[in-house]
Amino acid sequence: MQTETQLGFKVRPHTWEEIREIFLPKYHDHQHWFLILSAHAAPLLTKIEEKYYQGEKNADLTVAITFHRGMAYAIVAARKRHMFNYQLGSLLRQFTLTKISDKEILRRDFIVSTPLDFVNDAADLLPKLLGDPPGNDLAMGN
């Protein structure tokens, strides 16, 4: 079932099973950055898309929006070949209150950016997405 937003965007709701079918192969290929971003981090996601995933590269940026306990979250898979760890790190430092090294980013399966009050709620999304908790998730607050 496809629907249209008030602004005219066409959207199609997905079940968690469908979301897993889309995201799990990207997770297992280790060629994508995975981010869980609250609505507060929308400017970060916008900048990532504008700077690194325009035109044909946009096909390598996958975003699913969900609502959990009253907060909107974006689940993002971004192909690493278009945005390197130092570029992601720079944007994280500019748009969030985190201070993470570029080397530390390489060691993480997930980057979670949300206000501290919502970190646990955001972490609840990971088992829904993967079926099992990831090995090295990273939570950080805005």
Determine the residue type at 125.
L
Q: How confident is the model at residue 129 (pLDDT cuts 50, 70, 90)?
A: confident
User: Using DSSP, how many helices (H) and how many strands (E) does the chain show?
Assistant: 5, 7
Closest by Cα among 115, 85, 116, 84 to 101: 85
Q: What is the mean pLDDT of residues 110-118?
A: 88
- Chain centroid to CA 109: how far? 11
pTM of the model: 0.83
pLDDT-derived band at 95 (thresholds 50, 70, 90) equals very high
**What pLDDT is stored for residue 13 in this prediction?**
79
- Chain centroid to CA 125: how far? 11
pLDDT in tens, 49-80: 999 999 999 999 999 988 888 888 999 999 99
| Residues in CB range of 16: below 8 A, 6 or more apart | 128, 129
Q: Tokens standing for 81?
A: 């070949």
Model confidence at 132, pLDDT cuts 50, 70, 90, reads low
Mean pLDDT taken over the chain: 86
> Does 142 score more than 60 pLDDT?
no
Kindly tell me if the per-residue pLDDT of 140 is higher than 80: no
pLDDT at 100: 86
**What's residue 141's pLDDT?**
44
The confidence band for 97, taking pLDDT boundaries of 50, 70 and 90, is confident
Reduced DSSP (H G I as helix, E B as strand, rest coil) percent helix, strand, coil of the chain, to 5: 45, 25, 25
Start-to-end CA distance of the chain, whole Å, equals 35
